[in-house]
A and B are shown apart, each in its own frame.
Chain A
Amino acid sequence: MTWVEYNWLAPVAIIFWLTASMAAFRGKTALADKAQVAGIIVFGIFIIGFWLTLGRPPMRTMGETRLWYSFFLATAGFMAYKHWGYNWLLGFSGLLATVFAVINLLKPEIHSITLMPALQSIYFIPHVIVYILSYSILAVATIAAIAQLIKLRRGRPDPKLYAFMDNVVYLGFGFLMLGLLSGAVWAKEAWGHYWSWDPKETWAFVTAAAYLLYIHLRLRDANQKMTLLTLPLAFILLMITWLGISLLPSASGSVHVYS
């Protein structure tokens, strides 16, 4: 099994995942389940076959890591969807898995770009996947918060929306913390220290603190508007952590900036 076969198997998996997402949105759970699992199995077959052909786990090039992103996003997203019953979770994770699968289809050059030695670690993929899941889930929480703010303006905040938001933030925060902790374990193995307040680490902490603030504000009688506003603000901090680091002057010495 090589990248040639990927060109046939990946589209099949993608079609299954997109079918699953659409079925989930329409409430057709049985079909959604089967389609998602089918897609995961097809993709899994490719990965195993590829692994056997290469004689080593496919974890050394950029293209190879994208394979694992697709696989685990589809799988973890499916498990979270089964547990929580949120249709959009399946759609989201299926879409993300598709994005990475498509990148591999459209950019064959990345198939052989080797990862730098520091990235060749078993912690790399879990660390990234868990953060991707967390970010996408927290995006949903942000949208819910904005919807609730609008309702609050009209004098009718929805208690069910509050309950949903809380659940989603706990879910997203759980993944966020797993990302932070796996990053710390990896840092200790690779760089000698689990936390050196590198700009990326500092901003990851800032983001986590912001969501922690929301979680705690929700426990006791706090001003509703202020509490709800923490979510969009936290999401801005999240975006800075994810994408904005390379733009900050304080970050030019960061080990997380690869340029």
Chain B
Amino acid sequence: MWTGPWGYRESLAVVVGLILVAQSLQLIIGPFDNYLLYQPGNYLVAGLLLLLSVSSVFFQRLRLVRWLSGVHLAVALIAGLLLFSLIMGLTPQFNRLPDLNDQVPIMKLGWAQMTTSRPFVMLYLLTLLSLGLVTFKRLRRFRHNTTFIFNHAGLWLMLAAAGLGAADRQRHVMHVREGQVEWRVFNDQQEVLELPLAIRLNNFELEEYPPKLAVIDRTTGHPLPPKRPVMFQIDPEKTRGRLLDWDISLMEYIHRAVPTEGGYREVPMPASVPAAKIMAKNLKTAEMSQGWITSGNSMLPVSALSLDETRVLVMTRPEPKRFMSDIKLFTQDGLEKEARLEVNQPLKAGHWMIYQHSYDEQADGMSTFSGFELVYDPWLNILYLGLIMASLGSLGLIWRGRSRPSTKSGS
């Protein structure tokens, strides 16, 4: 061992040694602190890695450089990352750990917050180095190595953006009232932060699915059967159905109703509720019940249908089908954008992305505010570049498979 070019044994020894050192460091001085990577720290690290990778091209004669960009070290690093991500997968992870005195050993090792644990960070940075070196090593014969380069460079860019960019990412939730403009959010310490962008909520819309019916036990208030309650989905196109012991007929359904003399009528206002005129026939006793049922809301009362002495038919609150905010965004740079935000349809403005996050769920259609998630990530474009490259690399793998058979083991 250690004489001649370093192979698997030496690489494993070095990586295991580094893990032990990093792990000891973790136990002594605690986790890796992100503040080291705040801008410009992360740019400097990325720049240094790139510099080392580019210059390595001129030092290929050095055994050290060949080892750092070689397969043996790559295997050891992949195995190390596999081990630690496996631990991460088996250990509940915490965003915030309790005080040092209250921590269990796994927390002290850093394993309950693996992304800040020193061994993981060490492996991550070494992997970045190895990837950078090997990419530039093969760059000279680009045509012959396209899939290789796309995969390795793509991965480098993604790991750099995700890992080094982590310190600069910001995430906030902002509540804006209809008709008003907001630019402030609360941070984790309940302090007010003023952001460089402002949102005006012009309109909030909520669409709901038709609600469901359930049978509840009057004495307990719980839906039946107790262990696994059964629900009946109201579907205006299906006027008959079955719920437990009852044959249910949907005589009339109004999605947005208000009460009137002896019933309900359609009035699509924010305070309206779904209402259904139901006839329920007990299949065992032939007992019939008929009446209007509604789930109610903060302004209108619930209306249920009595089935027998112990059981009542109720309507659940409808689930959201779609909610949308019509907003105008203003940034300090003078950018103005209008958008209709929905789940899965965020708005991109510079390095910010704005998502429809939530609304006042207690108030349903009468929600007075809309919740937006604002995410800032200046490294996102680098990530997407790496992602596209890695995707092309994956297509290369699919298309070509292993195009050059190995001349060494097993073939």
Contact = CB atoms under 8 A, between A and B. Distances in A.
26 contacts: A112-B235, A118-B343, A121-B344, A163-B405, A163-B411, A166-B402, A168-B401, A170-B402, A173-B397, A174-B395, A174-B397, A177-B394, A181-B387, A181-B390, A184-B387, A189-B346, A192-B373, A202-B85, A202-B89, A209-B85, A218-B410, A219-B71, A219-B408, A220-B408, A221-B408, A224-B410
B328 interface: no
Contacts of B169: 193
A206 B344 contact: no
Contacts of A227: 409-410
Contacts of A193: 169, 171, 375
A110 interface: no
Contacts of A71: none
B399 interface: yes
A235 interface: no
Interface stretch (B55-63, B74-82, B362-370): B74-82
Interface in A161-202: 162-163, 166-171, 173-175, 177-178, 181, 184-185, 188-190, 192-195, 197, 199, 202
A88 to B, nearest CB: 15
B92 A202 contact: no
Describe A's contact surface by its main secondary structure.
helix
Interface of B: 7-8, 71-72, 74-75, 78-79, 81-82, 85-86, 88-93, 114-115, 162, 169, 171, 209, 235, 320-322, 343-346, 353, 355, 373, 375, 380, 383, 387, 390-391, 393-402, 405-406, 408-411
A139 interface: no
A202 B88 contact: yes
Contact of A197 (B88, B344, B390, B406): B88
Interface string A27-52: 00000000000000000000000000
Contact of A250 (B91, B235, B373, B391): B91
A155 interface: no
Contacts of A173: 394, 397
Contact of B90 (A189, A219, A250): A250
B383 to A, nearest CB: 7
Contacts of B408: 219-221
Contacts of B394: 173-175, 177-178, 181
Interface residues of A, number: 58
Nearest to A178: B394
A170 B399 CA distance: 9
A248 interface: yes
Nearest to B375: A192
A128 interface: no
Contacts of B115: 197
A221 B393 CA distance: 25
Contact of B85 (A157, A174, A205): A205
Contacts of B373: 192
A167 B398 contact: no
A60 B130 CA distance: 44
Contacts of A166: 401-402, 405-406
A59 to B, nearest CB: 12
A55 interface: no
